[in-house]
A and B are shown apart, each in its own frame.
Chain A
């Protein structure tokens, strides 16, 4: 695997009135990276994701995807270039079934999302891909249930399955296991561990077990700015990191 940078941001700044939510953040993600972004509550982790994905517009700074500046691209265009995210609070389509949800995402990715004269299930490629995703995310037995009636763990799985349906090159996972009850947790951790190797993953998570087992590199964010970056063992040994975050890890874990 080549160690090329797929996603990078340079001097990213976001101000809301007088508050600086993202303060001069620079970040690089290699192809296939497993990178964790940690920091106490209110450190600006979700704001950073919103900036990278185009939900928010940065006050200053640049974002590059595979060497190309994507600042001007709308959120849905960034998705088509392979920059996909999940949400901390599940954002699902409550009126559709998991199967329909995935089929919409897949047709969108295949470029047939605007087709209006053929039924959603017409394309065999779509149902094949959906079948595969449903199996991969343990959703096959609930594929025809209305999403609003799914158990919480299944909702978190669907949340990730939707993102994978868009075939990302960079996946931003916003607290994938937050609030998942212990019984459903294992299934979710396994799917996170089994994400395709060539997909670069940026993981935001408070769960230190997951972060340390998953990440090859970590960035610590405090008050919107990067405090430090390095390997998990370097971070664990860093006195400042322990001070601002890991020392209070019990509170968040």
Chain B
């Protein structure tokens, strides 16, 4: 194999520490059984962050309304389980498909315009959906949320339990599958064509890349995965409420990517873990002012830079 071929395929090969980390993550529910609920919550939000990374980090599309798809997935899964069939995997598939359709339709709104336009369009879509879910209370339960969702057991064997063991395994396994899928996508010619569009859409077009159809595909896939995360949440909690569409959720997931770094899939996972663990720790210490400390952390992160912040031994050196 030539050095060119080696260089080209080098980045697509998984590193040893990725296997170690995933093995560790998959053992977490057994290692920390009392924290199973937190584990599944973090896993779901990490999956959601990964879906945003595909458009933000790899395609350069900023979004302040990614909760639109998360919420769509959550309500679809809850409604499907309640009215049609309680099987979780079937529900996941349906919710993902519904979110993908919504994503494909919404992608038309992000093709034109600058970052600011995209921020407003994505934000607007999430707000519209939230208000729709509020007003269509005969379907969604309105402000009370959609209650009485009874989930069947996963694969017909593993029933959801109260301490969240099953939910944690379930979320981790689905997230691992998505991680592997995305890993393959971002290292493929398709994934690289997204990066060329992110870096320079004018040139991407000038080497024959159909910019619009690539962005539609990326946005649709991202929406589908965000919907998948939403569906996982609805299924493991047996509940869907208006806050799944909330602006907070879109903003939080953006913050997680800022913390963990965009454009590499681990950014969403690391960001979600750091964000949620910080949240739990600070909230336990000073419940009312936790956003103050989170804000301070973000300001420091931006001013000092991620690279330096995780290397305390370089703090004495000149930048």
Contact = CB atoms under 8 A, between A and B. Distances in A.
Nearest to A116: B190
Nearest to B211: A76
B207 A116 contact: no
A104 B205 contact: no
Interface residues of B, number: 35
B155 interface: no
Contacts of A55: 202, 205
Interface string B1-26: 01011011110100000000000000
B206 interface: yes
A121 interface: yes
B185 interface: yes
Interface string A87-114: 1000111111101110111011100111
Contacts of B189: 103-104, 107-108, 112-116, 118, 120
Given A85-B206, A94-B199, A108-B208, A103 B192 contact: yes
A202 B291 CA distance: 60
A180 interface: no
Contacts of B198: 95
Contact of A166 (B10, B202, B207, B214): B207
A91 B204 CA distance: 9
Contacts of B202: 55, 91
A144 B203 contact: no
A115 B206 contact: no
Interface string A62-85: 000000000000111101100011
A117 B8 contact: no
Contacts of B209: 76, 104, 108, 113
Contacts of B82: none
Contacts of A101: 196
A117 B196 CA distance: 18
Contacts of A105: 207-208
Given A127-B8, A134-B4, A96 B192 contact: yes
A53 B206 CA distance: 8
Contacts of A109: 208
A76 B210 contact: yes
Given A96-B195, A115-B189, A121 B203 contact: no
Given A91-B203, A99-B4, A134-B4, A121 B12 contact: yes
B207 A130 contact: no
A190 interface: no
Contacts of A96: 192, 195-196, 199
Most buried by A among B2, B191, B208, B211: B208
Most buried by A among B196, B199, B207: B207
B5 A124 contact: yes
A106 to B, nearest CB: 9
B206 A108 contact: no
A109 B10 CA distance: 22
B187 A127 contact: no
A114 B190 contact: yes
Most buried by B among A75, A119, A128: A119
B188 A121 contact: no
A82 B28 CA distance: 54
Given A104-B207, A126-B8, 17 more contacts: A76-B209, A85-B206, A93-B200, A93-B203, A94-B200, A95-B199, A95-B263, A100-B192, A104-B196, A105-B208, A109-B208, A113-B208, A114-B193, A115-B188, A115-B189, A119-B187, A120-B9
Closest 5 CB pairs of A and B: A121-B8, A121-B9, A79-B208, A119-B12, A127-B5
19 contacts: A76-B206, A76-B210, A84-B207, A85-B206, A87-B203, A91-B200, A93-B195, A94-B200, A96-B195, A114-B193, A115-B190, A116-B189, A117-B184, A120-B8, A120-B189, A127-B8, A128-B2, A131-B2, A131-B4
